[in-house]
Structure 1
C-alpha cells in the first residue's frame, strides 16, 4: 500500500506534466522565416576598357538573415544571368545610411562585346537578383584625350596677357559662353577674368581688392569668388564666397548683388533677406533660376530670376541620405550643373559622390558613396553638355566623364597624383582641379587650382 506522501508526490508530478503539455500546446513560434534579400544593381559601369569593367550593387534589406554571398553575375549570351554564369564574389560594406554596398571588378572580357549584368545576394532563403543592365566593352585600349595649357603659369600671380604670360592665383570656377570665351573666378586675385578662344586673358570685373563693392566692373570688389555661371542672355553670376552673397555681372559690365545680405547663415527669402554660408558652385537653368551649392550649410539652394532664395534640397546636416525635399542630406557640396530637363547634378564632395535632384526635388545617387570613395574621388566641379554627358573634376587629380549610357570614363589624370604635365589621357597631371566647363565645340576647360593654370581637355566621349 502506497503511503499518503508518495501519493501526493505522484499526483503533483502528474498535474505539472498536464500543465506543461497544455502550456506547450498554446505557444506559438514567433521566429520570422527569412525571405530573399532586396538589392539593386549599380546603374553605372566604371573603368570600362576592352577587357574589363567595374560594377556592383546595394543591399537594402538582408531578408532577415545573414547574406552569405554577394556580387554580380554576367554573360554575353544569357540576358538574365544567374550565379551559374560568370560571377564575382564581393564583401558588402555598410554606409552611413545603413545600406550595404559592394564593388565588383570584372576581368577577362572580350572587346567590342555586349554584356548582361545584375547584382546578386544569397541568404538562407535563396539568391535574389537586381535588375539587369547592359554594357559594351570598348574596341580600343583607352580613351585618347589631349590635355594642354590654355592660359596661366605655375608661378601664379596677376597679369593680363596671352597664353602662359597671363597669371592667375588659385582659379576656382570656369564657364564658357556661346562664342567660346572662358570666364574664370580668379579666387585669390579677387577678380573675374576672361580668356578668348585665342588664349588672350583680360580682367572682366574686379579691382583686385578683397572687399564688397557694386558698380562698374572695373571698380567693383569681390572677396574670393568661387563658382561662376552664365545665363542665356550672357549675364554672369558669381558665388562671392568671402562675402556670402551671389553677385551678378550684366552684359553692360555692371556688378550688382543678386541675392544675399552678406551675413553668414541660413535664411530663405527675397534678395536682401537671404543668407548663405560659403556658397561655392553655381548653375543657371533655362528659366533663369540660379542653383547654389551652399557648401557650409550642406544644402542646394534655388534662387528665382526675381532673386528669391529657397531650399531646393538637403536637411542641413552633413550626412548621406537620399529622399525627397529636405528629407535628404549632403556633405559639403561644391559644384552643381543643370540639364535641359531641369535635373540638378551635385558634386557632393564630402560624400565622395555625384547626386541628382529631379525637378520634383527627389534626390538619388548617380555615382560614388561614403564607402565607395574611389569611383569619383572628391568631386569639386561638375558640368553638363547639350547631350546630357556629365564632366567632373576629382580633386585628387582626375577629369571624369559620365556618359548618357551610364559609363564612367577617366578622361585625364591619375587619382591621388598631383603635378603639372600636359599630354595624353592619364599621363597628364593636375593639382587639385576645381571648376570645369565645356563649350559648344566639345572643348573642356579646367581650373587647375594649385597649378594656377586653366587647362584644356579635348577628345571626350560625346
Structure 2
C-alpha cells in the first residue's frame, strides 16, 4: 500500500464537523488503585448522549416512564424518561416494521419480517427481550411467475381493549390477541372514495374506539367510528400537502403532529385542519433535524422527537427545551491523569472530564488531532497531523510553547514515560524522544512510526511501518535498545495501525482499525482473542487507547463518536 495514499485516507476522515450539547454524569470509583490514583468510572460509553447515539426508528413513550425504539440492526432499546439505557435486545427478524406496548408496560408487541422467507409477524416480548408468544403471522402472497409479495404489518397500534390495528394492503385491519380478524377499514382497493385509501401512511386511535387515517395521495385526513364507518374528511394544511408523512400522532389536547420526510419538519394542526406550528429543530438555536425519518414520542406534556442520532424535547407550544447530541466528534485518543481527570482528543477539540465524570472544559482547536498524553506535572501533549510540532497545555489547559520536531510534518502517536520524557511517533521523521521539560526532540529510533505507548514497566512500544502495507510492534527499553518484535500475521493481522497500548503485565493491545477490533498479545507475544464487540456495540474505526489504573482499556471508537471501556479480559463495561 502506498504510504502517501494511506496518509491521505486518514486526513480525509477528519473533514466533517459536529457539535455537542449534553453529556451523562459519571461517578468516581471506589475500587482499589495504586497510591495517588483515582480510577475514572461512570456511565459508558463516554460521549454517548441521553437516548443513545444510535439512529432511532419507531420511538415511543411506554408505561413506566420509559421509551422504546429500534435501530437498523434490529436491536430494540429500552430507556428511562431521562434517556438512560435500561435494556437492549436483538430481534431474530431481519426487519422491524413497528412496535407498541400494552397498557401496563409489561409486554412489547413487535411487527416485523423474516426476509429469508417473506413471512411477516406480530410477536410478543417482555421488556427483557424474552419471546412470550406469537400473535399472528402472514405468509407472502404468490403473485405468479415465482414472484412473492410480503404482507407487511405497518404502523402497529394497540387499542385500550387490547385489539391490534395496522395497515396492510390499502386498508386498516383489526385483530384480537388470538390473531383473529375482527374488522377491516377500506376494502383494499386503491381508491380516492370516502372510506377507501390511495396511499395510507399512518393513523391514530381516538377515544370511543374510532380512528383518524392519513391518506397522502388525496391530501386528506379521514375519520372513522368504532364500527369502521367513515364519518368525515378534513383536508391537510398546506405544509403537509406538499410532502410525505412519515409519522402521525395526536397529543392530549387533541391536536395532530405529522412528521414529513422531504422538508424534515413536524407540522402541528388541530382537528379542523388549521395549521398551528411547524418544528424543524432550529428553534432556540438548535440544530435542524438531520434525518428525514422522524419519530415522535409524547410524554409528560412534551414532544420527544427523534431524528437520526439526535433527540429534541419540546413543550407543546413548540418551545425547544433540550437537544441531545453526540458530544464527541470523531474522538481519536484518550488519556488520564493519576487524579482521575480524563482528556479526550476529538475533531471538535480536547474534552476534559473531572474525576466525578463532569465535562468541565473543551479547549484547543480540533482539526486533525491525532493523539493525547499527559505527564505527572499535569502538562498535556497533543499531536496534530500536518504540523512539525506537538501542542502543549499546562495544568490549567493554557497553551504553552510547542515541542518542535525537526523536519517532521506527520506526527501520530504521543506518550509520556514515568520520568516525563515525551515520545512521539512520526511518519516523517522517526520515533522521537523529548527530554522532560525540553521543547525539541531527538531521534530515538529511525524509520516511519505511527504509534507509541510508554508502559508502566518502563518499556516503550512503538508501531513501525514496514514500507509496504503493514506495521510491526517494536519493544524498546528506555535507552533505545530494541528488545523484541511482535508478529503481524493472520488471523490476528492488524494492517497499518496508528495506536497501541500495554498494561503493567506486559499485555499489548493494537487498534486494528480496518477490521474494527483490538488485537491482543500476551506478555510472551502469544496472540489472544481480539476485543471485537458486535452489533450496536461494535467498533467503527477504533483508534487511540489508554490503560487505566485498574487495567481497564479505554478506547476511542472514532466513527461511532464514543470512548468505550473494557475490562482487562475484554468485557465491555458500562460503569
TM-score where L is the length of structure 1: 0.50
Deviations 1:57-86 (A, max 9, x none): xxxxxxxxxxxxxxxxxxxxxxxxxxxxxx
Structure 1: how far apart are the matches of 2:74 and 2:252?
31
2: CA distance, partners of 1:409 / 1:385: 13
Q: Which residue of 2 aligns with 1:278?
A: 152
| Equivalent position of 1:287 in the other structure | 161
Q: Deviations over 1:34-73 (max 9, x none)?
A: xxxxxxxxxxxxxxxxxxxxxxxxxxxxxxxxxxxxxxxx
Query: For the structure 1 residues 311 and 426, does the alpha-carbon distance in structure 2 shift closer, same or farther, using more than 3 Å as the test?
Result: farther
Q: 1:336 to 1:304 in 2, by over 3 A?
A: same
In the TM superposition, what whole-angstrom CA distance separates every residue of 1:114-165 from its partner, at most 9, and x where no partner exists? xxxxxxxxxxxxxxxxxxxxxxxxxxxxxxxxxx98999xxxxxx8984169
- Secondary structure in structure 2 of the residue aligned to 1:163: coil
In the superposition, relative to structure 1, how do residues 342 and 378 fare at CA in structure 2: closer, same or farther (>3 Å)? same
1:343-358 matches, within 5 Å, as 343-358=210-225
Contact 2:157 2:165 in 1 (8 A): yes
Asked if 2 retains the 8 angstrom alpha-carbon contact of 1:172 and 1:225, the reply is no
Deviation at 1:225, TM superposition (A): 1.0
- Indicate which of 422, 425, 429 corresponds to 2:289: 429
How many residues align? The count is: 267
Alignment match, 2:453: none
Matches within 5 A, 1:25-424: 162-163=48-49, 166-169=52-55, 171-186=56-71, 188-206=72-90, 220-234=91-105, 235-242=107-114, 243-251=119-127, 253-265=129-141, 277-294=151-168, 297-323=169-195, 328-331=196-199, 333-363=200-230, 364-368=232-236, 374-375=240-241, 377-396=243-262, 397-404=264-271, 406-413=273-280, 422-424=282-284
Report how far residue 173 of structure 1 moved.
0.8
Alpha carbons of structure 1 residues 376 and 358: separation in structure 2 relative to 1, 3 Å: farther
What residue in structure 2 maps to residue 70 of structure 1?
A: none
Deviations 1:177-228 (A, max 9, x none): 2333110032x1111112222222354331xxxxxxxxxxxxx513221222
Secondary structure of the structure 2 residue equivalent to 1:244: strand
Measure the CA separation in 2 of the matches of 1:165 and 1:177.
14
Deviation per CA, 1:257-310, whole angstroms, max 9, x where unpaired? 5433241249xxxxxxxx97222212111101111122xx11211111332134
Q: CA deviation at 1:240?
A: 0.9
Give the 3 Å change call, closer, same or farther, for CA 445–378 of structure 1 in structure 2. same
Q: 1:203 and 1:251, CA in 2 relative to 1: closer, same or farther beyond 3 A? A: closer
Instruction: Write out per-residue CA displacement over residues 350-393 of structure 1, whole angstroms, 9 at most, x where no aligned residue.
Output: 44443322212123433339xx7843731121122333222221
Contact 1:411-1:460 within 8 A present in 2 as well: no
2:120–2:152 CA contact under 8 A, matched in 1: yes
Superposed displacement of residue 338, structure 1:
0.8
Say whether the 8 Å CA contact 1:191–1:203 is kept in structure 2.
no
Distance across 1 between alignment mates of 2:295 and 2:283: 20
> How far, CA to CA, are the matches of 1:430 and 1:167 in structure 2?
13
Q: Which has the higher helix share?
A: 1
Residue 422 (structure 1) shift: 4.6
1:5 corresponds to: none
Partner of 1:119: none
Does the Cα contact within 8 Å between 2:122 and 2:137 map onto a contact in 1? no
CA distance in 1, matches of 2:216, 2:21: 26
CA contact (8 A) 1:348 1:379 kept: no
RMSD value over aligned CA atoms?
A: 3.6
Q: Which runs of 5+ in 2 are unaligned?
A: 1-19, 25-44, 143-148, 320-575
CA distance in 2, matches of 1:151, 1:340: 39
Q: Is the 8 A contact 1:352 1:373 kept in 2?
A: no
Larger RCO (CA under 8 A, 6+ residues apart): 1
